[in-house]
Amino acid sequence: MIAWMFPGQGSQKAGMALEIEGAADLFKGSRKVMSRDLERLCTTDPDPAWAPDVLQPALFLTEVAIGRKMQALGMEPQAVVGHSLGEFPALVIAGALEFDEALRLVALRGKAMTDAGRRNEGGMAAVIGLDPAVIAEICSEEGDVWISNYNSPKQTVISGRDRGLAEAAKRCMEAGAKRVVRIKVPVAAHCPLMQPARETFEKALAEVTIVAPKCPVYCDADGVAHTDPSEIKDLLVKAITAPVRFTDAVRQMRADGFETFVETGPGKVLRGLVRQIDTEAGLAGVSDDEEATSLALTSRRKNIKYETEPAGVSL
């Protein structure tokens, strides 16, 4: 079976929507929802400024455009998983959330996180090559720092106030981490410092309709499959302050029979993480029209049926 993965912040790049048919129409439609035009930022700007309140809608629009191009070519996911912000394009492509409502939520989420970051200053750092259990113990002992992303057995991200983050980074290196890299983001995402953003987002989400998706949605907050709209809503709220459990999600998907993971968005970040989680998983990526067309041709050649009986063939 085949799952589509939608990346979050960290996968952006200049020109990421330039070669995607249909992206221009989505950007045009987004102007009715947002007060700013993101098309140039995602297409022709050689050095985009990626503030969180801009980056999140930009990635969302780009990934929805890629997913819709794949659907236009006859492909459909048999499950979806989104990494942080990626949960929103995943829900749109799975038919659980309307595009306009999702864009409003994404724009609000980005602004709310930026505002929370001003109130509770901090940041994030990636810890490479150290057991997550050891990292969790260090964080609990230091205080004001938490695990924010269980990305893979080899990569864990921590979030918190600057002092706690620095002390935890030092102790992680002393405990055997290969590297600790400060991430260039202005907020401490997916930790209790985002509580003000969670409250703002929860109020907005209460007014939004989510319907049962066409395929299972593996949620970040618990790493398992969901099709119940109320459960998905609760987990979207929880995800603002809870860690991203991408490792758990991939392992659960493999246990549930998913053999191939298609990264539906710019970059190769999620494929690299999946490779660290399970070396036997099949991997593919689509970031523009050419790659979408190539994947569609491969699917036809291998007789992969997306909407009928799964073929069980890795691409």
* β-bridge partners, 183: 124
CB 187 within 8 A of CB 52: yes
Q: Are 229 and 214 in contact (CB under 8 A)?
A: no
CA 139 to chain centre: 24
- Of 30, 159, 190, 226, the active-site residue reads 190
User: d(Cα 240, Cα 89) in Å, to the nearest integer?
Assistant: 16
Please choose, from the candidates 232, 197, 6, 235, the residue with its C-alpha nearest in 3D space to the C-alpha of residue 108: 197
DSSP notation for 121-186: --EEEEEESS-HHHHHHHHHHHSSEEEEEEEETTEEEEEE-HHHHHHHHHHHHHTT-SEEEEES-S
Task: Classify the C-alpha dihedral 44-50-53-58 as positive or negative.
Answer: positive
Distance in Å from the first CA to the final CA of the chain: 10
Q: Identify whether 84 is a catalytic site residue.
A: yes
Q: Are 315 and 298 in contact (CB under 8 A)?
A: yes
- Separation between Cα atoms, residue 262 and residue 168, nearest integer Å: 34
CA 16 to CA 170: how far, in whole Å? 35
- Which of these is catalytic: 11, 30, 84, 299? 84
Sheet holding 123-128, edge to edge: 145-152, 155-160, 123-128, 179-183
Gap between the Cα atoms of 169 and 181, Å rounded: 9
Q: Which active-site residues does the annotation give?
A: 84, 190
